[in-house]
Amino acid sequence: MAEVYGSARPRKRWGRRLLITFVVLLLIILGALVVADRFGASYAEREIGDRVAQQLTEQKATAEKPDVTIEGVPFLTQVLAGKYQEIKILLNNFSGPAGNGKNIKLDRLDIRAKDVNAPLDTVRTGNGDIVAATVTGVGTLSYPDLADLIGQKGLKLSERDGKLIGAAPFEALGQTFNTTGTANLAVKDGVVSVTFADVTAEGLPNIPLVRTLVDNYVKQLAFDLKVPALPLGLKVQKVEPRADGLYVTTGASNVSLSSGGL
């Protein structure tokens, strides 16, 4: 009995060491996979960022270095499957030509490409097409910048009850009146049309001559905001007045990323 008991202890110690060794090796392998996964994701994010930056240059637009994040883990699983859940691209301090020598400025353009189909062979060889089912982008145009684009002296813009309100000084009959009006916003073919209606001014005489002067002044406030070319074929779909500025929503579907994506 003593010999059996004595021989069991070395076997138990050996079994424990084997288990510890196996766990250590497993952790090393998992750690290596995590490092490889993050390295691969970082490489792909840099590539996407570089190509988006190239698109900006070609479109005569500027922004800080694109901040790209490939969502979903593990990354390598998405590579093998050829499908990516979502790619986020943040462009801080975006600026692009809006015509008449002026630029449209957005503090941040937040772009999301979803359901990206990128077969492994296409990524590896560069042959074939990489397509995002949907791409959306949102940003906020500040009211001072919008007023500067309209170019009417003294014009101030703000939001009230979900509507864009304009206020500006108006001269008539040798006096200066403070006028206010509601802006109508319409989007067509990537152009945002801004027109004003229901313009009123306290103390302004309601006579035909003055009314004609006001109507002519209101026409001068009309403005077509030409949104510059955006990365990944994004087009303006909707604009919405908010407290901090004009919220701009852009989008595109079935977007090819082969020339400027993965």
What is d(CA 177, CA 169) in angstroms, rounded to the nearest whole number? 6
What is d(CA 130, CA 254) in angstroms, rounded to the nearest whole number? 10
**79 touches 123 (CB < 8 A):** yes
Tens of each residue's pLDDT in the chain, 262 residues: 445 555 556 656 655 555 555 445 544 544 444 544 454 456 566 766 777 778 778 878 888 998 888 776 665 666 666 677 888 888 999 988 877 778 888 899 999 988 877 776 666 565 667 788 899 999 999 999 988 888 878 889 999 999 998 888 877 777 777 888 888 888 888 788 888 887 777 777 777 777 777 777 777 777 888 777 787 788 889 999 999 999 999 998 888 765 543 3
pTM of this structure: 0.72
**246 touches 141 (CB < 8 A):** yes
For residue 188, what are the contacts with CB-CB under 8 A and spacing of at least 6? none
**56 touches 226 (CB < 8 A):** no
What is d(CA 120, CA 8) in angstroms, rounded to the nearest whole number? 53
- The candidate with the shortest Cα–Cα distance to 247, out of 149, 168, 98, 143, is 143
The pLDDT, as a whole number, for residue 11 is 59
